[in-house]
A and B are shown apart, each in its own frame.
Chain A
């Protein structure tokens, strides 16, 4: 089955800096890659996703890139703000079956 690895496990940046979180996946048939943000005590919230027919997607300060050949995808947050502090999870799935999540990255944005 699919295996998703996520790095780093913790990330601390200064407000205004950029943050990058990287994930790799094992199943070349995976075709959907969402990113979720989970604040303490709350549900995971979908923030951006990308499909295997696209190499990059951007939504305001958030962007995701996908390298199918290398089987890795990354989340980029620019101009970070304290409210970006949360745990971020990447995931990979194949036709919405068997979605596997990375271990998570705890992002801290220092004011």
Chain B
């Protein structure tokens, strides 16, 4: 499978600020995804990030709050804007690998908002 890394691995931020999370893959992939996992909860899809087009957001998530970039086939960023304590969560990127719907996850970014 592809090797996926995320930066930062964790961060503690003040409310009202923004944090950009980076996801890097060691191979070119068409589809990348961003998920949120709140403490003790399941994974919720935020958006699908395809290179060369606007990200597609799921219900309940908007571009102004979670802007996404996908400048090439190996990299994507997710920004959590104007943060509040409710944004405290683990944010994970995933990639489709092997061309058969299979998704592999990055290590996640643990965000705490004070």
Contact = CB atoms under 8 A, between A and B. Distances in A.
Prevailing SS type, chain B contact patch:
strand
A104 B102 CA distance: 19
Interface string A29-63: 00010101000001111100100000000000000
B96 interface: yes
Interface residues of B, number: 20
Contact of B102 (A42, A49, A102, A103): A49
Contacts, number: 42
A27 to B, nearest CB: 14
Interface residues of A, number: 22
Contact of A96 (B41, B92, B103, B107): B103
B46 to A, nearest CB: 12
Given A97-B48, A98-B45, A101-B42, 14 more contacts: A1-B59, A34-B103, A44-B105, A46-B104, A49-B102, A89-B42, A95-B101, A96-B31, A96-B96, A98-B58, A99-B45, A103-B41, A104-B41, A104-B42
Interface of B: 31, 33, 41-45, 48, 58-59, 92, 96, 101-108
